[in-house]
Amino acid sequence: MTRLLPSAVVVLLLLARWSAAGSDVAMFRGNPQHSGIYSVRNGAGNDGEPRLKWKFKTDGWVRSSAAMAHGIVCIGSDDGNLYGLELASGKLKWRVKTGDWVRSSPTIVEGTVYVGSIDGHLYATDLATGQRKWTFQTAGPIYSSPAVDAATIYLGGHDGHLHAVNARDGKLKWKYNAKAPIYSSPAVVDGMVFVGVMSDRLVGVDSVTGEEKMRIRTTRESVYSSPAVADGVVYFGSADRILRAVDIATSEEKWSFKARRAIYNSPVVAGGKILFGSVDSNVYALDLLSGETKWSFSLNKNRGWMPASPAIVSGWLCFGAEDGRLIALDLNTGEKSWVFRAGDMVRSTPAMAAGVICFGCDDGYVYALEIVPAAAGRDR
């Protein structure tokens, strides 16, 4: 297998391709490698703070995460709709009705939006018009978010399969039988697809054939976490409380870290660190090479844990909390930079485009924040 580029180079290449406001590609965790990076810098500098730009009301919890391209925000809701909203104003451009909740996060590639629904279908929708292009049916609910690479959509299903679907016509290319539900979202790197399985393992399969090439077992606990890949290493958390770093070429564990409780969300790879949260109400930053703790941040058990995955937005580590806060930490120190208070639990991962941070909330709203210079009275 070809060795991957160093993570710093990969990040720069990804940002050049995907971070621009007019980018043709936007997806859960920011890119197929699932680095979790949406934007490295912000115009307001380290002293910036969020200001509400707009919010849009749906008729259900919003636990899907946004994808943004060409001035349109795409996000799902438990009211069964995939929404297309104007990034500048929050006005509704279109909506696509599915048969059940939309917990999957959309992916946008070349003017098409792909998203799964609890009704078991993968939907392909025209980004500009909201017109449905095609649907692909699986045999169970879809919580997994699609990853797209080389005109192929990779998607896990509650039916126990990893599906590879032609992005152009919605026809099945292959499916891998995991023999257990897949909530994890696939990462695609160097001809391999990595995904967590609800039974007790992470698998790596060939992206062209679907043949299993790699299997890493946990201690009989499920892998909800979506893996991240950097420098030939795959990183993933598990319900067994362990964050693992595994060498792809050898399938050997390089190091592991044990939290006090389960790790359900997906890690971020940035700044030589792996960053993630645990049900133990802590956010951890570990050295990417050694697994040693660089810093940790306590959410305070009385105020909940971090139910959604973190992301790098505008140079901060940003994540939602059970008590309704959206929190931004300094990536280097773990110190709190700012807090925005939404109306309920935030289970949606924040995403950013054109200087706007978007996320969903259990109060039924989609929120859009803009970063402005810090003013007196900031909530820390």
Token pair 């598990």 is found at 238
The top-scoring range by mean pLDDT among 34-43, 97-106, 213-222 is 97-106
pLDDT digits (tens, 9 = 90+) for 275-331: 999 999 999 999 999 999 999 999 876 667 788 899 998 889 999 999 999 999 999
Query: Quick check: helix, strand or coil at residue 313?
Result: strand
User: Given a cut of 60, is residue 364 above it in pLDDT?
Assistant: yes
DSSP SS3 for 49: strand
Average pLDDT, the chain: 89
- d(Cα 366, Cα 342) in Å, to the nearest integer? 10
Query: With bands split at pLDDT 50, 70 and 90, how would you rate the model's confidence at 70?
Result: very high
pLDDT at 7: 41
Closest CA to 343 of 328, 330, 359, 355: 359
The answer to whether 53 and 357 have CB atoms below 8 angstroms apart is: no
Model confidence pLDDT, tens digit, residues 328-354: 999 999 999 999 999 999 999 999 999
pLDDT grade for 15, boundaries at 50, 70 and 90: very low
How many Cβ atoms from other residues are within 10 Å of residue 247's Cβ?
Answer: 13
Q: How many CA atoms lie within 13 Å of 86's alpha carbon, on the beta-carbon side? A: 8
Quick one: DSSP state of residue 362? T
Q: Specify the 3-state DSSP secondary structure of 77.
A: coil
Residue that has been written with the tokens 């564990």 in this structure: 253
Q: Domain limits of the chain?
A: 7-373
The model carries a pTM of: 0.90
CA dist., res. 256 & res. 239, Å (int): 14
CA-closest candidate to residue 139, choices 153, 120, 119? 120
First to last CA, the chain: 47
Q: Which residues contact 16 (CB under 8 A, 6 or more apart)?
A: none
* Architecture of the CATH domain 7-373: 7 Propeller (2.130)
pLDDT value at residue 11: 40
pLDDT greater than 70 at residue 149: yes
Q: 47-59: per-residue pLDDT in tens?
A: 688 999 999 999 9
